[in-house]
Amino acid sequence: TFTKAWSIALGDVDSSIAFSNATLYVGTIDGRVHALIPATGASKWLSPFATGDGAVKGTVWPSAGRVFVSTDTKVWAINDLGTGTTPTPFFTSPISTVPNPATPVLLGTRLYVGGGNGTVYEFEVVATPPTPKSVVLGDPSAPFQVGRPTADVANGLIYMGPEAGQIYAVAYPF
């Protein structure tokens, strides 16, 4: 038989839950990012990080003390400073150069994000604000939404399946 260990009401959660560094990261449709202690469900942070920019999309991407998320018009990097702290933004301002950003993927120190203009973007995240590089996929006169990149580390490629129906492979870093 199974026994429920715990539950917590965070509001509507449409994004996937990520687990990293003994923390569960959850994004909600009201644009908040929560950090939870897995054994108890208690909040790790004093309060969630509020983006104020619509739903957290896809998956929260945690890595090395930071959490990366996309919302309606921005890409965020959030510092996770540990239990009993308040999360802070890492970027001096969120990335707003990607129209309708898809879920970001971090590979090393580079963040990859698909945009609603048929373009995939690369940001070096050691600097703030990060400067974008980009690759246009397909016909720029007929833009489409580019989905979350998937990494093929062995071949140095990222793959995207945009709504236009094609699958694209792009060598990284750009």
What is the per-residue pLDDT for 56?
97
pLDDT above 90 coverage of the chain, percent: 85
What integer best gives the mean pLDDT of the chain? 94
- The pLDDT tens digits of the residues spanning 65-91 come to 999 999 999 999 999 999 999 999 999
Cα(172)–Cα(153) distance, rounded to whole angstroms? 9
Residue 133's identity, in one-letter code, is K
What is the per-residue pLDDT for 64?
85
Which of 44, 50, 48, 49 shows the shortest CA–CA distance to 84?
A: 44
What is the per-residue pLDDT for 11?
92
Sign of the CA dihedral with 162 first, then 167, 173, and 174 last: negative
Average pLDDT over residues 18-30: 95
What is the per-residue pLDDT for 144?
93
The CA angle 174-123-49, to the nearest 5 degrees, is 155
pLDDT at residue 95 tops 80: yes
- The pLDDT tens digits of the residues spanning 97-142 come to 999 999 999 999 999 999 999 999 999 998 788 889 999 998 889 8
What is the per-residue pLDDT for 129?
82
pLDDT category at 57 given cuts 50, 70, 90 is very high
Cα(116)–Cα(96) distance, rounded to whole angstroms? 12
What is the per-residue pLDDT for 140?
84
